Amino acid sequence: MALKNRGVLKAGFERTHPIHLALKLRNVAEGKGYGPGVDRYVRTTMKKHKVKMVPIATAKAKLILNDFFSNPPQTYTRCLIDAITVAEAGPAAVKARSDAWAERQVAAVLGSPADKVYETCSPVAWGVLPRTDLRSQIRGLMSQPQLTVAVVNLRSLAAPGAILDSLAAGGFNISGPSWK
pLDDT digits (tens, 9 = 90+) for 68-87: 777 787 888 888 888 888 88
- Give the global pTM: 0.68
Give the mean pLDDT of 46-53.
85
In a domain, 131, yes or no: yes
Q: Which is higher by pLDDT, 141 or 111?
A: 111
Q: How many domains does the chain have?
A: 1
pLDDT at 92 over 80: yes
Residue 128: count of CB within 10 angstroms of its CB? 18
Domain extent at residue 117: 2-169
Radius of gyration of the chain (CA): 18
In a domain, 71, yes or no: yes
Q: What pLDDT is attached to residue 160?
A: 84
Q: What pLDDT is attached to residue 48?
A: 92
In a domain, 57, yes or no: yes
